[in-house]
Structure 1
Amino acid sequence: MTATTPQPPSNPPPDGRQTQRPTSGDASPFSTASSEEKATNDARSKEPGEIEILDWHDPSDPANPINYSTTKKWLITGAALFGTLIIPLNGTSITVAHEQLDGAFNVNESSFPHSYWAVTSWSVGGAVFIVVGLPLLEDLGVRLGYLIFYAFFLLMIIPQALAQNFATLIITRFFSGGCVTLLANTVAGIIPDIWSGDRARSVPVSLYILCYLMGSTLGPPMFAGVIQHIGNWRWIFYIQLILYGACLPFFYLTISETRADVILRRRAKRLRKSNPGRRIYTRAELAQTSLLSTLGRSVYRPVYLLATEPVLIASTIWSAFSFGTVFLFTQSTEQVYIALYGWNVWSTGYIQAAIVVGEILGFLTSFLSTKLYFASTPRNTEAPGRPIPEARLYVSIFGSFAGIAGGMFVYAWTAYPSLPWIAPTIGLGMVGFGIQTVVSAVADYIEDAYAVSGYAASAISGVAAGENIVAAFLPLATQRMYTSLGFQWASSLLGFVAVVLSFAPVVFVWKGRELRGRSPFMRSGGQTYASEIKS
């Protein structure tokens, strides 16, 4: 997942985000005529050929997304959240149909879950697109970029439904998975564009993480009925085509442009077109580099940070393991519940709804987490008046130890045919609770910790890529692990890994200030890295 928690940078960032964020007023984003007239009048005193910098005319400029009405903000946010919930269904829904896929394409899974390669390619596509595709979204803008990638995503589902060989599924799902990652994370850019301040963003951000995780988890329980009642795996994709096709007009009408620099750039282009010879540009246009150069930095920065920043490395491993368990359960629940209780494959799809229940409970703790975060402000001697970044992690420590690790042990040691099926299912719910608290906390913490440098977007991209890579490959080891170690010790091994990783937030809370002080990005605003890039 990429679960990228948004906040506006305090300095002009190299990641391409806008920094002009006036704080009052509301109106439609298309009400720009009066502002353009003011820009024209203000420029009459300029010398011919002089470059003009276009900015918002005043803090209440109605075209500035931060000034949209609360109703419009929630309409845009709600539409993007809805997309974040339904679009990831494409990823895991196919796991309940692996027996049909084996028969249709002669896939042998006796010793290795080869059918899962269709999910692996989907997740790898997400890891690639989240890093490479972000510059395209920055250039296209929210609305145009969303609609283009959504249309391409919709087109990629058609060959999945009509595939005549397994290779077609693997290739097309790479591209659909890449589109899903960009589309599902669009709301992470929308939230800081239109919501001002940590408190205003807290609920939208929590809902974003919940929708992303639920969308990734709901695939099997939602589409298990297709296998139960229809018995044709192609209908999984036929239904998705109907669903996503019906939603295209909805997104067309509700997703508005929210990037301030994109709106200003389009306004400047209109002014240049209506006044030939007039050299009026936005700051973003004057600072713009080639797409190839932007792509190079977009790929290099997350990799560089992941290779040099211990805090980011540990956080990525912790969050990636947590997110990867969502995909791992698509494999392990089938082995466990079929062997213990004689269930069929589609029944094991339904049981994964317990993880969703846990994620919803984890979402409810986000209100407590937010309260503890802001309550830490009086104790912050490092930056008085601001909450302590590590306060984001308080609830996640409990969620990681008791939720993920504790849930894994419950799932492990209740895996006996003499115990009712509800016993290991409670463990699934506990793990879902922990996943929600951990992924949300990591996204918030990394955003806060790297905000000073303006490299938060690159750091978050690294985390998101790591989550997708683990989701791609961890489940491939599930079949052999649960067969060789047995249900109890296989899940216990995962529980022990979770225990070890759960100490990461403890160390951050204990030594967070010192660790951040050693980082050139957290300490010096990224100047060290900026000088390396220039050289």
Structure 2
Amino acid sequence: MPERTTAPISPGNPDDDWDSTTDVEDHHPSTALPSGSDSGEQTDETEDHHRQIRHEKQTKHSGLPDTKRDYKLVEFAEGDPENPMNWSKAYKWWCTMVVAVTCFAVAFCSSVITADVGSVAKEFDVSYEAALVPITVFVVGFGVGPMIFAPLSEVYGRQIIYASTLLVAVIFVIPCAVSQNIGTLIVCRLIDGIAFSAPMTLVGGTLADLWRNEERGVPMAAFSAAPFIGPAIGPLVGGFIADGAGWRWLYWIQLIISFVVWVLITFTVPETYAPTILARRAKKLRKSTGDPDHVTEADLDPRPFSERMRVFLIRPFQLLFREIIVLLISLYMSVLYGLLYMFFVAYPIVFEKRKQWSKSMAGLMFIPIAVGVVLAAFCAPWVNGHYLKMVKKHNGKPPAEVRLIPMMLSCWFIPIGLFIFAWTSYKDLIWVGPCLAGLPVGFGFIFLYNAANNYLVDSYQHQAASALAAKTFIRSFWGAATVLFTEQMYDRLNDQWASTLLAFISLACCAIPFLFWQYGARIRAKSKYAFGGDEDPALDSDVEKGRKPPHHDMEDLRRAMSYVSNP
């Protein structure tokens, strides 16, 4: 290993040694960027900012007045073997597949129990609606968990969050499998939902840690289908398990699968989050050299974690109720998420209750949804290629509305599939119609979801994590609620008109991407929170008024990477 040197930071002239440390005094520091960020995205700090940092750090640690102090910034050098982006391609693909399989397993666990709700109601002597509550609270946990685990991962890294939360999830599957009352099932499923949400929250960020922008298309395409295939495969496998072994084995299979992925991700995937890796390097350097001035970019942020956590919890709701873009996109994604979970109730109604099929046969009807998702994943590189052309056309700075193009093209697939499902689901008609209706629905889901996430990230770059957190929160609660009233809706409106109502709702939502295509730029121009360009001041939330700390441009984008792929 080359000997470490200390040199002033010079943008575009990084050190060549692996321990790359730089003197932050009187120079612009190169931000310790998250993996997946280009060097051109680095944040520049002003000289006054540096004086403020020196003052605050000295006051905090030594109580001394404002005196001159040099910090040695620890960052990755070019070709650094500890940088996850420089790992071998084979190992990066291994890590990618492990986190993708983990994501699939979590999505599978969310839906597999929908295959046999009736047996739970019968054994515990509760209503069918009460037996649906374990499904509902699991989805609620999916909305609550990211609000906790995303900021925690910034402090402790991704690996420890993966390992600890999956272990909790594995443990609390066991009481579900042996439960003797509905209360135990509900409480443990809620805990599982919160714990299982962590991998779904962090997996997108892990891929951004591993792959550079120009390399990320195929890995993201391979991964992006996992959160949507899982819910489709769950009822399929669950139907055969329920018919052959009973409803409790729907939980034992979750235990087996979740334990396997816990072992894989805990013992074969190391830490990939750049700030955490650099923090460990800085700590090691301070210990080996006795020099306390080895720091990372995160160390130079004087804000306490409690303040950052408070902002992270409050800002999503500010955006949700003050930003029409966030509100309408969140409502649209909530409708889609609700439709996905409605299918878990509607399919058993149509195929089991009306057509008198077995659970295993009814589960086969979810295959076209999975096929549609896979087809959409294969189209993802084409969509990415088109976006890169638009980037070039706009000299590297395309408007956020370019992200709406896939959304405007694919939004029609959802209502088309629902109309087909509605009017071919008669008891005496052949099964082909309602079965194949899932194909366009699955195809549209993934296109719409990815496009919506990208539009929010591009529109609210400095506030992107908060915008996506708002969407995740409202979407999860709506998805949880729809499970509880779907059966009553189908009983009162009949199968055809209940599905038609859903089709018209999704058809009305098709106006949203066209609305923002026409007026989105004007809305963002008047917005207090929307990103306005490289020099955008990105006004802080009300929580921060009166004491505005230094803002790191990439901080919210680091968080946002964790949400982009969260289904």
TM exceeds 0.5?
Answer: yes
**Alignment of 1:344 onto 2:358:** yes
Q: Per-residue deviation at 1:323?
A: 2.1
Aligned position for 1:483: 491
Between stretches 466-475 and 69-78, larger displacement belongs to 69-78
C-alpha distance in 2, partners of 1:530/1:103? 50
Return closer, same or farther for 1:190/1:526 CA change in 2, 3 Å cut-off: farther
Q: Which residue of 2 aligns with 1:252?
A: 266
Q: For residue 434 of structure 2, what is the amino acid of its counterpart?
A: P
1:498 to 498, 506, 528: 506
Maintained 8 Å contact 1:370/1:392: no
Deviation at 1:204, TM superposition (A): 2.6
Shift of 1:275: 3.9
More divergent stretch after superposition (519-528 vs 92-101): 519-528
Please identify, of 271-280 and 327-336, the stretch whose mean Cα deviation from structure 2 is larger.
271-280
The yes-or-no answer on 1:102 pairing with 2:112 is no
1:12 deviates by 7.2
* Deviation larger for 124-133 or 68-77: 68-77
1:474-493 deviations in whole A, cap 9, x for unaligned? 12121111111111111111
Residues 442 and 324 of structure 1: is their aligned pair in 2 closer, same or farther, counting only changes over 3 Å? same
What's the CA shift string for 1:441-481, capped at 9, x where partnerless? Answer: 11122122222xx2212212222222211221112121111
Asked whether the 8 Å contact 1:12–1:18 carries over to 2, the reply is no
CA contact (8 A) 1:146 1:183 kept: yes
* Map of 2:25 onto structure 1: none
Q: Which residue of 2 aligns with 1:219?
A: 234
Deviation for aligned residue 1:393: 2.4
Tell me which of 406, 420, 430 is aligned to 1:395: 406
For structure 1, which segment, 345-354 or 259-268, has the greater mean C-alpha deviation from structure 2 after superposition? 345-354
Deviations 1:268-304 (A, max 9, x none): 2222233446343222023154443332122112111
Aligned pair partner of 2:106 in 63, 87, 96: 87
Q: CA deviation at 1:57?
A: 5.8
The one-letter code matched in structure 2 to 1:321 is V
CA distance in 2, matches of 1:387, 1:73: 30
In structure 2, C-alpha distance between the alignment counterparts of 1:22 and 1:317, rounded to whole Å = 31
> Equivalent residue for 2:517?
509
State the secondary structure of the residue aligned to 1:63. coil
Aligned counterpart in structure 1 of residue 526 of structure 2, from 513, 518, 530 = 518
Partners of 1:97 and 1:12 in 2: CA distance? 52
Letter in structure 2 aligned against 1:218 = I
In 2: Cα distance, 1:193 partner to 1:338 partner? 45
Corresponding residue of 2:150 = 134
User: Shift of the alpha carbon at 1:84?
Assistant: 0.7
Counterpart amino acid of 2:454? D
How far residue 180 of structure 1 moved from its aligned partner, in angstroms, is 1.6
For the structure 1 residues 20 and 266, does the alpha-carbon distance in structure 2 shift closer, same or farther, using more than 3 Å as the test?
farther
Change in Cα spacing, 1:482 to 1:456, as seen in structure 2 (3 Å) is same
Fraction of identical pairs, as percent? 26
- Are 1:468 and 2:487 an aligned pair? no
Q: In angstroms, what is the RMSD of aligned CA positions?
A: 2.7
Q: Which stretch has the larger CA shift, 86-95 or 362-371?
A: 362-371
- In structure 2, the residue matched to 1:534 is 545
Cα displacement string for residues 43-80 of structure 1 (whole angstroms, at most 9, x for unaligned residues)? xxxxx994523322633322222333322322222211
Distance (Å, rounded) in 1 between the aligned partners of 2:518 and 2:430: 41
The question of whether the paired residues in 1 share the 8 Å contact of 2:35 and 2:210 is answered with: no
Which of 62, 80, 87 in structure 1 is aligned with 2:81?
A: 62
Instruction: Give the equivalent residue in structure 2 for 1:202.
Output: 217
Aligned residues: 490
Show the 5 A alignment for 1:328-367: 328-367=342-381
Distance 2:342 2:116 in 1: 16
**Residue type of the alignment partner of 2:78:** P
| Distance in 1 separating the partners of 2:182 and 2:386 | 50
Question: How far apart are 1:395 and its partner, in Å?
Answer: 2.6
Given that 1:411 and 1:427 are in contact with CA atoms closer than 8 Å, whether structure 2 keeps it comes out as: yes
More helix by share: 1
| Residues 314-360 of structure 1: per-residue CA shift (max 9 Å, x gap) | 11111221122111101011111234322134432332222111211
Q: CA deviation at 1:228?
A: 1.3
Residue 410 in 1 paired to residue 415 in 2?
Answer: no
Matching of residues 400-479 of structure 1 within 5 Å: 400-401=411-412, 403-451=413-461, 454-479=462-487
User: TM (normalized to structure 2)?
Assistant: 0.81
Q: Give unmatched runs, 5+ long, in structure 1.
A: 1-10, 24-47
Secondary structure of the corresponding residue to residue 220 of structure 1: helix
Q: Deviations over 1:116-167 (max 9, x none)?
A: 1101110111111111221112222111211111111111111111112111
Structure 2: state its 5+ residue gaps. 1-29, 43-66, 547-567
**Counterpart-to-counterpart distance in 2, 1:15 and 1:98:** 43
3-state secondary structure, aligned to 1:278:
coil
**SS in structure 1 at match of 2:426:** coil
Query: Secondary structure, in 3 states, of the residue corresponding to 1:386?
Result: coil
2:77 alignment partner AA:
D
- Give the secondary structure class of the aligned counterpart of 2:74: coil
Cα distance between partner residues in 2 of 1:58 and 1:13:
11
Distance 2:68 2:284 in 1: 17
Q: CA deviation at 1:435?
A: 1.0
Quickly say closer, same or farther: Cα 1:327–1:130, change in 2 above 3 A: same
Distance 1:22 1:369, change over 3 A: closer
Larger relative CO (CA 8 A, sep 6+): 1 or 2? 1
Q: Secondary structure at the match of 1:418?
A: coil
Structure 1 length as normaliser, TM-score? 0.85
Residue 529 of structure 2 aligns to a residue in which SS?
A: helix
Give me the whole-angstrom Cα distance separating, in 2, the residues matched to 1:527 and 1:186.
Answer: 25
Q: 1:312 to 1:168 in 2, by over 3 A?
A: same
Q: 1:179 corresponds to which residue? A: 195
- Counterpart position of 1:33: none
1:361-385 Cα deviation digits (max 9, x unpaired): 22233233223322323553xxx33
What SS does the corresponding residue of 1:54 show, helix, strand or coil?
A: strand
SS of residue paired to 1:143: helix
Letter in 2 for 1:313: L
In the alignment, what sits opposite 1:77? 96
User: Using the alignment, how far apart are the partners of 2:123 and 2:208 within structure 1?
Assistant: 46
